[in-house]
Amino acid sequence: MCSSDLWDRPLMSIVRQERLLWTSLGLVTGAVSFIDVRRSLWSSTSALADKFPSPPPPPAPLPADEPVFGSRARLGLVRTWNSSVDRVFGDITRFLSDRNL
């Protein structure tokens, strides 16, 4: 390629080549810096984790044999739940039963 061929080329292609060059260099630089920062964060995190002892074992579970509420409290809760459901869905239930659905 001689020097006259360089000047015969349109200027826009040179501008596009420059854009492509600097864009690719920017992308490569960004990717390398991202990988470097990620690697340093992981290594510092693992070094910090090695300084601390392992976590303590979880506490023993509570016995599940004893109910939280007695039978009377459960009956009251069931009655309250059923009355609130009837209050909320009562109109819809009556409408559907009138239509035999």
pLDDT, tens digit, 9 for 90 and up, residues 54-100: 878 888 887 776 677 788 888 999 999 999 999 999 889 889 989 98
Q: Report how far apart, in Å, the C-alpha atoms of 4 and of each of 1, 9, 31 are.
A: 8, 9, 38
Given a contact cutoff of 8 angstroms between Cβ atoms, the answer to whether 77 and 69 are in contact is yes
For residue 1, pLDDT over 60 is answered with no
pTM above 0.85, yes or no: no
